[in-house]
């Protein structure tokens, strides 16, 4: 496989490839652009044509063309390999355990995945053209017009119209798709006389379809979905994610809705980070897939009984995967598609006013039971606490305990006492909070990178930076403080002669590293990078603090030390406020 990887890399010019996703400008020996993996105003994303690699000095993403594709498309390595092999014309050898290509494996009936992709792609194009041009699709066009879909939206989503079964079969037969292949693809002809929405995988290949009736008196179910096939796994497929993933990465936000029309209309209204499941209830695999792009998930399901049931299930699944969703409260009787059509400002307000699920359920419980007496307060706490105890992060859990006690006017001790009596199965064991620096696999600490940039760009050294000394670890704080004392009349070499041995070694090494890592940076780029690094440093310091207190609180909870838990929670809040001030 290594030979195939190298062959693919040899056929791709990384600058040209990445420019399909990111506008790049020449910057010395490199090409620079705004990073597609995080929000930034100044370019910190560099592509090196000599090394055929990329590096973002803002979020620390980097690697070769495979790393780039895996990150930006949200693919596993084998999926990225398959995608790039197809683009470069490289033929992959079988690499499955049983001697077959796991990505192109045949089904039990002998039909290859390649043929299923080809069939779906062909019929999606054919149905789309029928919708656009054929007289028989007039009612479908009228339906889409009533739903206020624009021509551009219809084309972007390749919406189609499935004619009577015999016509679809003739179309497929004309392209030599066998009966066995059509059956393995889920018998697409069964979607007859419906508006059809293609369902795509992460890289945009059509894997299935949803068909919707165009009049309420039409026979058959309102929706008909392609059944499970060897390329369509409902429990692992997210409708619209192929189109939404870049916007999700940029905004670090996902809107999860019920139906395809909700997704499409939200995208049309410029909420291009909306997605939905495909013909099945939300699963743990769906949440895991979404978390590859963002953990900030806002749920906007219909207000009817079915929608509320789906919403509660989504919340259960999300909590089990350590995601505390936000709730977007839609107008009663209107789904998100209706809202953006009839009351776009109302939808925008609902989105802006979205609440954490815990805050929402506290509000709902107080609305249902009130807080007029002890019995009512107990009912509120009984409703809310099982959800709070499911939160894995101890610090976040402690925050919501404090919020609940404040809202229903009881002591934290009484709430902590109630928690002790909640069955353990509804309160998963607390995980240790991971260090963000380890989690992100930074090659070098922000402290070292800051020291290196300041040593190379002395004009950036000024007294205003002293306030950030508190965020440096003891290992680097001395060097940082001595660097800020640099007399600008002296050259760098002259300055180094008068610093402590520890600072001399640390700053010299940082200077050398910076000369390599930031070789092409201008003063303006260096200044922007220092700002980014300081922000990262503050974030890491805050996460370290959270980890320390989370572990202390978890231990106190385990030992049943209620007063200690309360003391640590208050102490944590005070320290955080001091750090942020």
What's the full length of the chain, in residues?
A: 581
Q: What is the CATH number of domain 2-88?
A: 3.90.580.10
Predicted confidence pLDDT, tens digits, the chain (581 residues): 557 888 898 889 999 999 888 889 888 778 889 988 887 778 888 998 888 889 988 887 888 898 899 888 887 788 888 889 888 888 877 644 444 444 444 444 567 888 999 999 999 999 999 999 999 999 999 999 999 999 999 999 999 999 999 999 999 999 999 999 999 999 999 999 999 999 999 888 999 999 999 987 787 788 899 998 989 988 889 999 999 988 998 888 999 998 899 999 999 999 999 999 887 778 888 998 898 888 899 998 766 666 677 777 788 888 888 888 999 988 877 889 999 999 999 999 999 999 998 998 899 899 889 888 899 999 999 999 988 888 877 778 888 999 999 999 999 888 888 888 877 544 433 333 333 333 333 357 889 999 999 999 988 888 888 888 888 988 899 999 999 999 888 888 888 888 888 888 899 888 888 877 777 778 877 887 888 788 788 878 877 787 788 778 877 777 778 788 778 877 876 776 555 55
The yes or no reply on domain 236-353 and CATH 3.40.50.300 is no
**Torsional sign, CA 454, 442, 40, 539:** negative
Distance CA 349, CA 25 (A): 38
Q: Which one of 3.40.1000.10, 3.90.980.10, 3.40.1390.10, 3.50.30.30 gives the CATH number of domain 113-232?
A: 3.90.980.10
Q: Domain coordinates of the chain in residue numbers?
A: 2-88, 113-232, 236-353, 436-542
Q: CA–CA distance from 334 to each of 98, 254, 307, 308, 345 (Å)? A: 51, 20, 11, 13, 14
CB atoms within 10 A of CB 470: 11
Q: 368's torsion region: left (phi>0), alpha (psi -120 to 50) or beta?
A: alpha
Helix, strand, coil % in the chain, rounded to nearest 5: 55, 10, 35
Q: Distance between CA atoms of 193 and 284, rounded to whole angstroms?
A: 34
Count other C-beta atoms under 10 Å from residue 251's C-beta: 16
Q: What is the 3-state secondary structure (H, E, C) of 507-542?
A: HHHHHHHHHHHCCCCCHHHHHHHHHHHHHHHHHHHH
Instruction: Determine the 3-state secondary structure of 362 from DSSP.
Output: helix
Q: Where are the alpha helices (DSSP H) in 389-522?
A: 394-408, 412-420, 436-440, 446-456, 474-484, 492-496, 501-517
């Amino acid at each position: 496989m290594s030979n195939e990887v190298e062959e693919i890399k040899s056929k791709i010019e990384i600058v040209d490839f990445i420019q399909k996703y990111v506008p790049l400008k020449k910057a010395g020996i490199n090409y620079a652009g705004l990073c597609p993996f995080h929000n930034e105003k100044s370019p910190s994303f560099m592509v090196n044509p000599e090394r055929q690699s990329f590096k973002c000095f803002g979020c620390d993403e980097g690697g070769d063309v495979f790393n780039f594709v895996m990150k930006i498309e949200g693919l596993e390595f084998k999926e990225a390999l398959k995608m790039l092999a197809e683009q470069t014309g490289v033929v992959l050898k079988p690499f499955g355990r049983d001697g077959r290509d796991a990505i192109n494996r045949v089904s039990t009936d002998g039909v290859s995945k390649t043929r299923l992709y080809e069939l779906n792609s062909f019929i999606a194009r054919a149905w789309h053209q029928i919708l656009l041009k054929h007289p028989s699709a007039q009612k479908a066009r009228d339906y889409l017009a009533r739903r206020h879909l624009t021509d551009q939206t219809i084309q972007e989503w390749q919406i189609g119209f499935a004619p009577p079964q015999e016509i679809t079969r003739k179309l497929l037969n004309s392209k030599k798709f066998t009966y066995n292949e059509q059956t393995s693809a889920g018998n697409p002809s069964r979607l007859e006389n419906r508006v059809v929405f293609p369902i795509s995988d992460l890289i945009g290949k059509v894997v299935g379809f949803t068909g919707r009736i165009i009049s309420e008196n039409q026979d058959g179910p309102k929706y008909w979905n392609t059944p499970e096939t060897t390329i369509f796994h409902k429990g692992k497929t997210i409708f619209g994610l192929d189109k939404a993933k870049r916007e999700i990465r940029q905004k670090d936000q996902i809107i999860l809705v019920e139906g395809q029309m909700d997704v499409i209309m939200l995208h049309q209204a410029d909420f291009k980070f909306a997605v939905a499941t495909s013909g099945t209830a939300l699963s743990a695999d769906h949440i895991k897939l979404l978390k590859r792009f963002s953990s900030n998930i806002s749920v906007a399901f219909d207000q009817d009984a079915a929608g509320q049931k789906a919403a509660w299930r989504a919340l259960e699944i999300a909590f089990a995967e350590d995601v505390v969703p936000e709730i977007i409260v839609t107008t009663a009787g209107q789904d998100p598609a209706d809202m953006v059509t009839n009351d776009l400002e109302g939808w925008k307000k609902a989105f802006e006013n979205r609440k954490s699920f815990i805050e929402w359920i506290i509000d709902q419980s107080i609305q249902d039971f009130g807080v007029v007496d002890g019995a009512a307060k107990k009912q509120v706490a009984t409703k809310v606490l099982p959800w709070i105890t499911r939160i894995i992060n101890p610090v976040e859990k402690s925050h919501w305990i404090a919020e609940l006690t404040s809202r229903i006017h009881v002591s934290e001790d009484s709430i902590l006492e109630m928690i002790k009596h909640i069955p353990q199965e509804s309160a998963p064991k607390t995980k240790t909070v991971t260090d963000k620096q380890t989690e992100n696999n930074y090659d070098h600490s922000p402290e070292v990178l800051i020291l290196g940039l300041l040593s190379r760009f002395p004009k950036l050294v000024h007294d205003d930076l002293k306030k950030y000394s508190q965020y440096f670890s003891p290992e680097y704080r001395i060097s940082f403080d001595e660097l800020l004392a640099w007399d600008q009349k002296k050259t760098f070499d002259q300055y180094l002669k008068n610093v402590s041995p520890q600072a001399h070694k640390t700053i010299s090494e940082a200077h050398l590293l910076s000369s390599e890592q930031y070789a092409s940076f201008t003063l303006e780029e260096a200044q922007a990078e220092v700002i980014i690094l300081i922000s990262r440093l503050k974030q890491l310091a805050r996460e370290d603090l959270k980890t320390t207190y989370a572990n202390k609180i978890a231990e106190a909870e385990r030992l049943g030390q209620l007063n200690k838990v309360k003391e640590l929670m208050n102490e944590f809040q005070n320290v955080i406020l001091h750090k942020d001030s």
